[in-house]
C-alpha cells in the first residue's frame, strides 16, 4: 500500500496508507501513514461494523486534511476488541510473501527503498 500511495501522491493526489505495520510502510517513503492495531485481513475493522469502519475512514481522511506535508506517521486510536477473532487469512500466501520467500534479499532492498524493476 505504501508504494501505491507514493505513486498516487506523485500524480498530485493526497493519499494516506492505512497500515498494521506503519513504520515498515513509511520505510518505502509512503507520504502519509495511518497506523492501526487491527488484524492484517481487516484494516478497516470487523465485517458488518459499518459505524466502526466509518470511524476509521474518517480518521484517515482527517489525517489527509491535517498532514499537509508528506512524511507523516500517525497511530490511529483504534484497537481490535478483546476476544473477537478476525476472519481467517486465506490459505494461499499473498504474491509478495511468495516472492520474498523465494528471494529474501528483496526484503532488504524494499526496506531501504531500493525497489528493483520487474520484481
pLDDT for the residue numbered 63: 93
The answer to whether residues 7 and 31 belong to one domain is yes
Q: Where are the alpha helices (DSSP H) in 35-104?
A: 50-66, 95-102
Is 70 within 8 Å of 37 (Cβ atoms)? no
Q: Give the C-alpha distances (Å, rounded to integers) separating 1 from 18, 19, 80, 84, 114.
A: 8, 8, 21, 26, 16
Residues 74 and 94 in one domain: no
One domain for residues 8 and 26:
yes
Q: Are residues 63 and 77 in the same domain?
A: yes
| Residue 114 and residue 74 share a domain | no
Same domain, 94 and 79: no
- Let me know whether 94 and 76 are in one domain: no
Q: Quote the CA–CA distance of 50 and 116 in Å, as a whole number.
A: 39
Q: What is the pLDDT of residues 33-44, one digit of tens each?
A: 999 999 888 899
- Cell 528493483 maps to which residue? 116
pLDDT in tens, 66-110: 987 778 899 999 988 887 776 655 567 778 788 888 888 888 877
Q: Which three cell numbers stand for residue 92?
A: 494461499
Domains in the chain, number: 2
Between residues 12 and 3, which one has the greater pLDDT?
12
| DSSP bridge pairs for 73 | 33
Residue ranges making up the domain that contains 102: 89-119
Amino acid at each position: 500500500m505504501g508504494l501505491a500511495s507514493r505513486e498516487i501522491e506523485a500524480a498530485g493526489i493526497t493519499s494516506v496508507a492505512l497500515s498494521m505495520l506503519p513504520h515498515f510502510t513509511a520505510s518505502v517513503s509512503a507520504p502519509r501513514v495511518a497506523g492501526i492495531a487491527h488484524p492484517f485481513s481487516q484494516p478497516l475493522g470487523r465485517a458488518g461494523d459499518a459505524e466502526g469502519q466509518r470511524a476509521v475512514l474518517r480518521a484517515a481522511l482527517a489525517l489527509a486534511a491535517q498532514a499537509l506535508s508528506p512524511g507523516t506517521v500517525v497511530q490511529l486510536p483504534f484497537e481490535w476488541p478483546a476476544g473477537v477473532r478476525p476472519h481467517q487469512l486465506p490459505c494461499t500466501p499473498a504474491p509478495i510473501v511468495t516472492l520474498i520467500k523465494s528471494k529474501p534479499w528483496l526484503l532488504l532492498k524494499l526496506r531501504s527503498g531500493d525497489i528493483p524493476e520487474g520484481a
